[in-house]
Amino acid sequence: MGHFLQRAVEDITGVSPAKGELLRKELGIHNFGDLLWDLPFRYIDKSAISTIREAKSATEAVQLKGIFTDKHIEGNGHKKRLVATFEDGSGTLEILWFQRARDIDKWIVPGKPYLIYGKLQDYRGKFNIVHPEIEELTLNKTVTTGLEPVYHSTEKLVLRGLDSKGRRKIIKQLFSQLRPEELPENLPESIISKLRFFSRYEAIKRVHFPTSPEQLTAAKNRLKFEELFFLQLLLLRSKIKRETTIKGFIFGEVGELFNTFYAKHLPFTLTNAQKRVIKEIRQDMGSGHQMNRLLQGDVGSGKTIVALMCMLLAADNGFQSVLMAPTEVLAQQHFISISELLDGLDIKVAFLSGSITGAPRTEILESLKSGETTILLGTHAVIQEWVEFKNLGLAITDEQHRFGVAQRAQMWTKSPVHPPHVLVMTATPIPRTLALTIYGDLEVSILDELPPGRKPVVTTQRSEAHRSKVNSFVQEQIRLGRQVYVIFPLIEESAKLDLENLQDGYERLLAVFPRPDYQISVVHGRMKAGIKNEEMERFKDHKTQIMVSTTVIEVGVNVPNATVMIIENAERFGLAQLHQLRGRVGRGADQSYCILMTSYKLSKTARERLDVICRTNDGFEIAEADLKLRGPGDIAGTKQSGAFEFKAANLVEDQAILKTARLMAEDILQRDAELMMKEHYTLRQFLQTEYKYKQDWSRIS
Ligand code: ADP
Ligand code: MG
């Protein structure tokens, strides 16, 4: 790639070393390439300026043109703020700055025209805007297009003349030096013509200097496509590569263990979805290639039994399996329930976690090494270096989103001949766009059917005013012989506070549900594993009716007799978490309830989250809503994968583009897996340079 794009920002006229330093520090912009790819995040129509009077009834952010008539600093210390009065002839408005108030104070010149952009807030009947985007308005310059790009900026940058306008100047300078050859085409001619794309250079240019809304959209789409396409190409290529070069153990036989279990031990009939998925997995494991499959299914769709039957299949073919769970509690649960299910079959199951030490550990390790133990269940302890298998054939992770890519990769090293078959299971569904991006190099199976007879959980939101009603409801359910969870949130900053919170809640419950009529279990993250399990067992065995807990029980715990889930401070939980927690009830035949206790005042997004949870039980729908509400960056799993950060694409908005990109990538690789054809030279070239770092990442899924 041309080293033009690598030139330091200071090489542009007007960018002093001080400004360069700020760009690096504040926005991570080091060189010409970074500048080009820091795309405008918004476009303003200079003609669309509202008046302050109109703005007071607007629900969206507005653009205003006017002057400052007054400004002064108020308050002291961290409450210090600049309060400025902004006026445009139709009315006045207060503008507030809390950060860098003194500097902004010096920078603003009363009487000079400014353009500001922000959302009006009604503060006790007075309107204001806090930290607006702001730029000096140059009056003598007419703007020809209605679309002016707005670039990211910060108060520090504004003060240095690097407001959006200042940044536009830099980009203009850059383009005056940028020749089209510096941004060579990276897509094959066939795609460009089929999708009627601008050339790469043209597209970038039009995104920075749009001439019409239509062209802007077209240019943006090309850049979005490009990003998504290359990532898909990379993911699919590593998938194909793996399939063609990495051999897998062949589990050709359905043997005695599997058949006996199916005929005599399985306590229910498999759902059609479970049957289909087991078949898909069997095909993979019999193919001679190493399996890499993602199993997606909603809470309660019955992933565990699928995992177990696959492990039996491995055993029938003479191989060991491991199932790794993210928490000790969940791993223990798996151990207990799987041991029960397998009772009477000739197969040895062991449990391993960090809390198992000394002689018991040595014994487990030896029986793994000798091959005496066939199935190992546990926490991430099972993939540590000192754990050696005789012949590991299948590695499964439950609740994959809790693990990093590195842990997944570690599984590969556990078998010397071929890597084991790998199955990763999610806790809740992932939106399709995310699945294609995070797990785009895996095969995917979906359990899209719940076992029969499940009644959807009835979910409601309640506030403190309803407390006594909620309590009587709980008493009634307990009288009917049911059990209840009460969950307290984790406040991450302070484990001590969490505990106090939980302790307070526990004491309040004790007052309402006194011994000996009621028995309450408590489980939290800071408990010793042994005690935690004991408490869980007491609840499971119905020795206690109420389980008070932090989110440690979030995933996997299975007590079918529990019918009420009360979530305290529900507004503090994310959607996926709420859905997971709710999934702890509704596991038996009885009608179950989820009660979301909240404070009176809720933020808009908290309200939206709670509405979604009350409205639907469908994990796939909730996952989509979650993605929309939070954006891709915050969804569990994406951070850990961390390998992609899109400049143009947006996984919420660009589903259709992603789909096209995936199809086109598939099509190309089907014809030319190694990208050796002449027409694919540019692709290969581009992948080898620009996407090199991502390659390493995708190899190890
Ligand atoms: P998840 O997919 O959330 O991990 P589990 O594997 O824990 O779900 O299964 C949830 C519950 O449903 C368990 O009690 C399990 O025994 C039960 N279950 C699983 N499959 C079936 C089925 N086909 N019919 C009836 N119950 C089932
Ligand atoms: Mg599970």
Q: Look at residues 417, 447, 477 and tell me which one is the last residue of a structural domain.
A: 447
Query: What's the confidence (pLDDT) of residue 692?
Result: 57
How many angstroms separate the alpha carbon of residue 547 from the centre of ligand 1?
21
Same domain, 442 and 476: no
CA nearest neighbour of 115 among 160, 172, 158: 158
Same domain, 482 and 415: no
CA distance 213 to 217: 6
Same domain, 508 and 582: yes
Q: Assess whether the C-beta atom of 166 lies below 6 angstroms from ligand 1.
A: no
Q: Assess whether the C-beta atom of 296 lies below 6 angstroms from ligand 1.
A: no
Q: Are 408 and 641 in contact (CB under 8 A)?
A: no
* Residue 217 resides in a domain: no
Same domain, 400 and 488: no
144-177 pLDDT, tens digit each: 456 889 898 888 888 888 888 889 999 999 999 9
Same domain, 420 and 473: no
Query: What's the confidence (pLDDT) of residue 432?
Result: 84
CA of 307, nearest ligand number? 1
CA of 277, nearest ligand number? 1
* Residue 625 resides in a domain: no
Query: What's the confidence (pLDDT) of residue 347?
Result: 96
Q: Assess whether the C-beta atom of 304 lies below 6 angstroms from ligand 1.
A: yes
How many angstroms separate the alpha carbon of residue 266 from the centre of ligand 2?
17
Pocket test for ligand 1, best of 268, 270, 298 (most atoms within 8 A of CB): 268
What angle (nearest 5°) sits at the alpha carbon of residue 697, between those of residues 676 and 679?
15
Same domain, 481 and 347: no
Phi, psi of 11 (to 5 degrees): -75, -5
* Residue 214 resides in a domain: no
Atom of ligand 1 nearest to the CA of 297: 2
* Residue 580 resides in a domain: yes
Same domain, 316 and 349: yes
* Residue 516 resides in a domain: yes
Q: Assess whether the C-beta atom of 268 lies below 6 angstroms from ligand 1.
A: yes
| Nearest CA, atom 18, ligand 1 | 302
Q: The tokens of 509 are what?
A: 């419950």
Q: Look at residues 143, 162, 196 and tell me which one is the last residue of a structural domain.
A: 143
* Residue 584 resides in a domain: yes
Same domain, 439 and 368: yes
CATH number of the domain bearing residue 87:
2.40.50.140
Same domain, 267 and 387: yes
CA of 449, nearest ligand number? 1
**Range(s) of the domain holding residue 129:** 48-143
Q: What is the count of structural domains for the chain?
A: 3
| Nearest CA, atom 19, ligand 1 | 302
Q: Look at residues 447, 467, 499 and tell me which one is the last residue of a structural domain.
A: 447
Same domain, 545 and 396: no
* Residue 239 resides in a domain: no
* Residue 231 resides in a domain: no
Query: What's the confidence (pLDDT) of residue 695?
Result: 45
Q: Assess whether the C-beta atom of 619 lies below 6 angstroms from ligand 1.
A: no
Cα distances from 257 to residues 42, 85, 236, 342, 537, in angstroms, run 61, 79, 35, 9, 28
CA of 306, nearest ligand number? 1
In the predicted model, residues of the chain with pLDDT beneath 70 are 1-2, 46-47, 139-146, 400-408, 491-498, 552-556, 632-644, 691-701
Q: Assess whether the C-beta atom of 588 lies below 6 angstroms from ligand 1.
A: no
Same domain, 487 and 601: yes
Q: Parallel, antiparallel, or unpaired for β 42-44 and 148-150? A: antiparallel
CATH number of the domain bearing residue 591:
3.40.50.300
Name residues whose C-beta falls within 8 Å of residue 365's C-beta, 6 or more positions apart in sequence: 386, 387, 388
Query: What's the confidence (pLDDT) of residue 697?
Result: 39
646-655 pLDDT, tens digit each: 889 988 889 9
CA nearest neighbour of 356 among 346, 364, 368, 345: 364
Same domain, 421 and 302: yes
Q: Assess whether the C-beta atom of 153 lies below 6 angstroms from ligand 1.
A: no
Whole-prediction pTM value? 0.78
